[in-house]
């Protein structure tokens, strides 16, 4: 029996998930079709109910439904309850379980692709939106020594720090002009530098104050080399882009659905081929 999985959001036309998840299923010999399920808010209950069918493995969830799906599920696992957001739904004999693999995928990417373990490290997040939220929770769970959040609207950074930190003092809000030299890792959690975004040629922070050992991370994956990463390279700083985070969060979802180890290299290759094709089409 051919089984189904897909990504639920609105819009989802440009999602890379069908590309690399389909490649992973094919590589592992699994008869699964992964589709884009564009779902306006009014149709969300109907779409989630359809995931209970026996031929459906589950779904990924993206903007704007990561919070709205929670009341429609039977149980939450991993960090999803504390975060208040779900990006992966797993169908287990008609019962729907919600997980969030965004943050854990980010930490897994740091460890595997940058050889950077957040435990005991000081990390600065630029931005306080949904991406920063998942990453902040994951870093706190990974025993980071400190997680600082800088945002254009300081109140949002304060609220996020309070939500993640629970009074521990590990997570705090800081000014946007904070000196980068006190951090082991600086992460762009905004859309600045994204192709087709509001500031494709911008950078989220100047790197003048970064020290030589600081790891620069950009969660934007299109283009793979963002202006922020290019500036890091110009200064001789280690860096990692957003594609590894996307792939590793998708790999965790794949493993939750199938119980099979995700073919990371296959997923990377499929995603990079698609990104190259899209970039060529835009020239």
Catalytic center residues: 66
Calculate ∠ Cα 175-101-265, nearest 5°.
110
Task: Name the burial class of residue 5, with classes exposed (0-12), middle (13-18) and buried (19+) by CB atoms within 10 angstroms of its CB.
Answer: buried
3-state secondary structure (DSSP) of residue 114: coil
Residue length, the chain? 283
3-state secondary structure (DSSP) of residue 276: helix
Kindly give the pairing relationship between strand 215-218 and strand 239-240.
Answer: parallel
In order, the DSSP letters of 169-218 are SSEEE--TT--GGG-SEEEE-SSTT-TTSS-TT--SS--TT--TTPEEEE
DSSP category for residue 39 = -
| Dihedral (Cα; 102, 106, 112, 113), 10-degree rounding | 120
The sign of the CA dihedral 266, 272, 278, 281 is negative
- Please give the helix or strand (H or E) that residue 152 lies within, else none: none
Scan for tokens 């692709």, then name that residue. 113
């Amino acid at each position: 029996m051919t089984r189904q999985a897909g990504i639920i959001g609105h819009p989802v036309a440009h999602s890379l998930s069908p590309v690399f998840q389909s490649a992973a299923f094919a590589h592992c010999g699994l008869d699964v079709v992964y589709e884009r399920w564009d779902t306006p808010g009014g149709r969300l209950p109907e779409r989630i109910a359809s995931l209970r069918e026996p031929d459906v493995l589950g779904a990924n969830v993206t903007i704007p439904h990561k919070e709205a799906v929670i009341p429609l599920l039977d149980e939450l696992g991993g960090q999803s309850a504390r975060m208040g957001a779900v990006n992966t739904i797993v169908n287990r004999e008609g019962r729907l379980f919600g997980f969030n693999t965004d943050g854990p995928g980010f930490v897994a990417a740091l460890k595997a692709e940058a050889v950077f373990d957040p435990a005991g490290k000081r990390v600065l997040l630029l931005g306080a939106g949904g991406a920063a939220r998942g990453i902040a929770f994951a870093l706190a769970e990974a025993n980071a020594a400190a997680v600082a959040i800088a945002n254009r609207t300081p109140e949002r950074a304060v609220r996020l720090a309070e939500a993640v930190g629970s009074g521990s003092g590990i997570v705090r809000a800081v000014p946007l002009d904070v000196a980068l030299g006190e951090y082991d890792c600086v992460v762009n959690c905004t859309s600045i530098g994204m192709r087709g975004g509001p500031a494709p040629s911008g950078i989220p922070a100047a790197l003048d104050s970064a020290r030589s050992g600081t790891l620069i991370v950009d969660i934007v994956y299109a283009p793979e080399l963002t202006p922020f990463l290019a500036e890091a390279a110009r200064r001789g700083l280690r860096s990692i882009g957003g594609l590894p985070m996307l792939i590793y969060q998708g790999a965790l979802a794949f493993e939750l659905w199938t119980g099979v180890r995700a073919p990371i290299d296959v997923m990377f290759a499929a995603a990079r081929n698609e990104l190259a094709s899209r970039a060529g089409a835009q020239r």
